[in-house]
Structure 1
């Protein structure tokens, strides 16, 4: 038996499992999205793409996902750098602090933000006491609330992805840059940031895809006023029982995420390997 055949036999169980749990549901969703009473049809896609309401939901989903990803990267990069450059014991505690929220249900964390962001919650009351906002100021059922809640949920994925890359960067490269006259910020910008790009890309992919498909946090913090595509799919399934239209929305979400991610991967791959 050749090595190639042996390798194929070894990966065959994994490929079968992947086909069963991933590709088969996708093909079923694709088939459902084009199903109609008289045979295959594209009317569900035409209904979505021809309605400004659903196009607005799609745009809001992509826009919020991009904003959330950007904020996670802006916070996650310095956080990961600090964790990578402190002592081993302090790094362990920082990693535990970052991971600890992942051990709590996202529903519980979101309810915590609902208490903090409600009209009588700690954050709005503090802003009112400081005179920064008006008395009728509210954060709940706004896009800001969704961004705050989702950043807290997704920040660990971004920080840990970047941390894994920064820990492999030789500190002597920073010392060499400082010796050549670079300031600390210039060293970060010209040495650490370019070398950390694979981790930033990986964290951004995780943050964007998880944010675009998130349902619980946007639904609880945004309410019915700020609807995202996952909530629209859920409504089509549970309220109107329109499964083919829900499948069409899921396909559009899947394709929309790919349209954003594939060029991003290709551009960063060509530039940084």
Structure 2
């Protein structure tokens, strides 16, 4: 038996599992999205793309996902840099603190934010005591609440993605930049940031994808007033029982994510190769 045949046999179980877990459901979703009473149809896509409500839901989903990704990157990069440059023992504790929220259910963490951001929550009472807001102020059922909750949920993914790259950057490069007259911030911008770009791109892709497809946190913190596409798909399946239209929405979400992610991934790959 040749090495190529042996390698193919070793890859076969994983390929079959990938086909069953990913490609088959995607194919079924595509078929369902064009299913009609009288045969294949594009009416479900036409309905979505010609309805201003659903286009607004799609735009809100993309806009909030981009905002969440930018905030996670802005917080995750400095945090990852600090974790990479401290001692091994302190780094271990910082990694534990970053990973610790992942050991708690997203539902539990979201309910915690509902308590904090509610009308009688800690955030509202603190702002009221400072005289910054009125008595009936509440962050619940707002886009701000969704962003806060999603950043807390997805920040570990961004931080750990960047940390894996920053820890491999030779500190002597920063020392050389400082020797040549760069300030600390200039060395970060000209040396560390370009070298850490693959980690930032990987973390951004992961955070954006998870954010755009998230249902629990946006639905609980945003409520029925602020719909995202995942919640709209869930409503089509459970309330109106319109499975083909739900499948069409899922396909649009899937294609929309690919349209945004593929150029972004190529940009990061081109930068890293350069």
Shorter-chain TM-score bucket reads: over 0.9
- Equivalence map 1:152-231=2 (5 Å): 152-231=152-231
168-177 vs 218-227, greater mean Cα deviation: 168-177
> Are positions 1:74 and 2:53 aligned together?
no
Partner SS for 1:256: helix
After superposition, the C-alpha distances for 1:183-225 in whole angstroms (9 at most, x for unaligned) are 1100110011000001000100110000000000000000000
48-57 vs 170-179, greater mean Cα deviation: 170-179
Structure 1 residue 64 displacement after superposition: 0.2
Structure 1 residue 178 displacement after superposition: 0.9
| TM-score calculated relative to the size of structure 2 | 0.98
Partner SS for 1:185: helix
Q: Distance in 2 between matches of 1:105 and 1:271?
A: 36
Partner SS for 1:198: helix
Q: Distance in 2 between matches of 1:218 and 1:254?
A: 18
Partner SS for 1:61: helix
- The aligned residue for residue 17 of structure 2 is 17
- The aligned residue for residue 29 of structure 2 is 29
Q: Distance in 2 between matches of 1:27 and 1:248?
A: 12
- The aligned residue for residue 94 of structure 1 is 94
Partner SS for 1:225: coil
Q: Distance in 2 between matches of 1:186 and 1:161?
A: 23
Partner SS for 2:136: coil
Unaligned runs of 5+ in 1: none
- The aligned residue for residue 259 of structure 1 is 259
Q: Distance in 2 between matches of 1:215 and 1:131?
A: 34
| TM-score calculated relative to the size of structure 1 | 0.98
Structure 1 residue 137 displacement after superposition: 2.1
Aligned residues: 273
Runs of 4+ in structure 1 off by over 6 angstroms are none
Could you tell me whether the CA contact under 8 Å between 2:34 and 2:244 is conserved in 1? Answer: yes
> Are positions 1:64 and 2:54 aligned together?
no
- The aligned residue for residue 232 of structure 1 is 232
Unaligned runs of 5+ in 2: none
Structure 1 residue 7 displacement after superposition: 1.7
Structure 1 residue 127 displacement after superposition: 1.1
Q: Distance in 2 between matches of 1:200 and 1:97?
A: 20
